[in-house]
Structure 1
Amino acid sequence: MDIIFGQALFLLICFILSFSIILTTTRSRRSSRKVAPLPPGPPRLPIIGNIHLVGKNPHQSFADLSKTYGPIMSLKFGSLNTVVVTSPEAAREVLRTHDQILSSRCSTNSIRFINHHAVSVVWLHPSSPRWRLLRKLSATQLFSPQRIEATKALRVNKVKELVSFMSESSEREEAVDISRATFITALNIISNILFSVDLGSYDSKKSNLFQDAVTGVMESIGKPDAANYFPFLGFLDLQGNRKTLKVCSEKLFRVFRGFIDAKGTEKSSRNNPKDVSDRDFVDALLDHNEGDVSRAQH
């Protein structure tokens, strides 16, 4: 039975590799006819392209390669064509001069699995109406000079809480996890701006669970994933990134839904509208949604 299973597995792998070679070769021939020539780059191996040239420190690998192939070079990671920019002058062209053309971001396999690329300001294309709406709300409700000034006292108080926690821990001669402590400070600043509540506590285990969920989301997005380079492998979830992201994002969404539902209930039971200076980001979103409903009814 083991021999039969091993043979079947071997044949499956051979089939996938053969299919990949044929598909890659066909696409490369088609692209060579239609697409403009790419910048210079290192020779590519079949199937994997230049993946073998990028080690644990990609920035160092890219810097070394740029000494040979110049400040603008092309690399191929599986089926993904990539242009790497390594000089300040070229980066200025990409980030400032041609930012509108080059500002879209390719979503990862794990992000597409939870459909986050269709709703998040991080992954939406800048030309989409939803992205423009979220950008407008963020600019007015989070990053405007008035809002930054209005939250100054909040930021100062949260930093004072951090200093107080550090001092008390020092007096008790207790070790402090600086990463965790600064995370909780940043978390409480952001959660107060968004929800008007503290989501973390220096002494609570709940904040650890929340931090683990946030860290899990970040790792599953940034962790190497074979499906990002070979899309036909996406359903296998070889690195487990889709599973991790699904579990961690569901934990975060439950927390956020709780706050949003509570805000909605508070808003519906309140007779007088909240003062603008007292509103947080969720208040602004609820007001915007109410406005859309009202306009639709009329």
Structure 2
Amino acid sequence: MDDIISGQALFLFLCFILLCFLIFTTAISRRRSSRGASTLPPGPPRLPIIGNIHLVGKNPHCSFADLSKTYGPVMSLKLGCLNSVVISSREAAREVLRTHDQILSGRFVNEALRSINHHDFSVAYLHPSSPRWRLLRKISVTQLFSPQRIEATKTLRMKKVQELINFVSESSEREEAVDISRASFVTALNIISNLLFSVDLGNYDSRNSSVFQNMVTGIMASAGAPDIANFFPFLRFLDLQGNVKKFKGCSERLFKVFRGFYDARITENSARTDDRDVSSSDFLDALIDLNQGDEAELNIIQIEHLLFDLFTAGTDTN
């Protein structure tokens, strides 16, 4: 009997602590909101704790469009602890994306990305005025996206597309079903892996491609999934939906693949007795050159995160 009473008392005490914590955080949130309310656009009334989350619905774009009819093309929403400004007209979007693009070019960093500090290294999240962003952009443009490089890799891309066509044709002759999603992923995987590492990482008849596909889709799904910690940061340590755990697991496996290619190339270059053929160099060679010497422009962590950006963007076919 005493154990039951003690258990009930402990439960009530924990509920009391939680209630006090919620009241405290709500009071702080309201105080901050009142200070910044004069600088925010108009928006719908907010509920305690959740703000305007209940107004978002299953189709946020439709909900935002409906709300904009009442509160205008530029409105503010309180999503948990997060202040958001919604732009829903062509004129306002032009003002944001063109006239004030430098000021408003930052991106929200969710908990999944924050778990591996990707925002500190990613060309997609660094501010365009930072020297590091300019360096990463310069490397990407000169080594991958310049007209000369695009023309030089045209034969490679055509070869990989032809391999896809041959696979579909052969499967048709055998009257076998083709998983188009997986086949297109293998094609994209082999194109980007050849551009970066000069190897095929995928095979239409191999399960290895599925492993890479699961890694990429796992990264994209966990990074893009709604996460309660993004709206209530004080809950981040709980990882209630498991997004952070899944994202970190997939990312670490991908980083391990990159580190393996990097170490193997370093070993290969060290064992080389003749000069390297510059015409056959790939993106990894260019990164290694920037990592060597006393005045290295990139460290191994920056290289891994740059490869992470390019690899996931280049192979995500969803």
Structure 1: which 4+ aligned runs deviate by more than 6 Å? none
CA shift, 1:264, in A, is 1.4
Q: 1:66 matched to which residue of 2?
A: 68
Aligned-partner Cα distance in 1 for 2:216–2:5: 44
Deviates further, 156-165 or 125-134: 125-134
Matched residue, 2:316: none
Indicate yes or no: 2:106 matched with 1:126. Answer: no
Aligned to 2:300: none
2:167 corresponding residue in structure 1: 165
Q: Give the alignment's TM-score, normalised by structure 2.
A: 0.85
Q: Which whole-Å deviations, capped at 9, do the CAs of 1:210-256 have from their partners, x for residues lacking one?
A: 11011111111111111111111111010011111121112111111
Displacement of 1:49 = 0.9
Q: In 1, distance between residues paired with 2:95 and 2:126?
A: 22
Give the counterpart of 1:154 among 149, 153, 156.
156
Number of residues of Structure 1 aligned to a counterpart in Structure 2: 295
Question: Which one of the candidate residues 38, 41, 47 is aligned to 2:40?
Answer: 38
Q: Is the 8 A contact 2:186 2:204 kept in 1?
A: yes
Change (3 A) 1:294 1:83: closer
Distance 1:34-1:225 versus aligned 2 partners, 3 A rule? closer
Structure 1, 24-33 or 104-113: larger mean CA deviation: 24-33
In the TM superposition, residue 47 of structure 1 has moved relative to its aligned partner by 0.6
| Residue pair 2:290, 2:296 contacting (<8 A) in 1 also | no
Secondary structure of the structure 2 residue equivalent to 1:81 = strand
Alpha-carbon spacing, 1:177–1:3, altered in 2? closer, same or farther (3 Å): farther
Q: Distance in 1 between matches of 2:129 and 2:38?
A: 24
Is the CA contact 1:150–1:277 (under 8 Å) kept in the aligned structure 2? Answer: no
Cα distance between partner residues in 1 of 2:37 and 2:273: 61
1:241 corresponding residue in structure 2: 243
Cα deviation per residue 1:24-80 (whole Å; 9 max; x = unaligned)? 332432453357521121211111111111222222222222222222111111110
Deviation at 1:272, TM superposition (A): 4.7
Structure 1, unaligned stretches of length 5 or more?
A: none
CA contact (8 A) 2:193 2:201 kept: yes
The equivalent of 1:251 in structure 2 is: 253
CA gap 1:272/1:39 in 2 versus in 1, 3 angstroms: farther
Percent of aligned pairs sharing the same letter: 67
d(CA) in 2 for partners of 1:7 and 1:46?
28
Report the 3-state secondary structure (helix = DSSP H, G, I; strand = E; otherwise coil) of the residue aligned with 2:134.
helix
Instruction: Give, in whole Å, the separation in 2 of the partners of 1:150 and 1:163.
Output: 22
Other-structure match for 1:206: 208
TM-score, normalisation: structure 1: 0.90
Q: For 2:112 and 2:7, how far apart are their aligned partners in 1?
A: 30
> Quick check: 208-217 or 56-65, which moved more?
56-65
Moved more, 113-122 or 80-89: 113-122
Alpha-carbon distance in 2 for matches of 1:161, 1:173: 18
Per the alignment, do residues 195 and 3 of structure 1 end up closer, same or farther by CA in structure 2, a change over 3 Å counting?
farther
Larger mean Cα displacement after TM superposition, 270-279 or 205-214: 270-279
Higher RCO (CA < 8 A, seq sep 6+): 2
Q: How does 1:136-147 map to 2 (within 5 A)?
A: 136-147=138-149
The structure 2 residue matched to 1:115, chosen from 114, 117, 126, is: 117
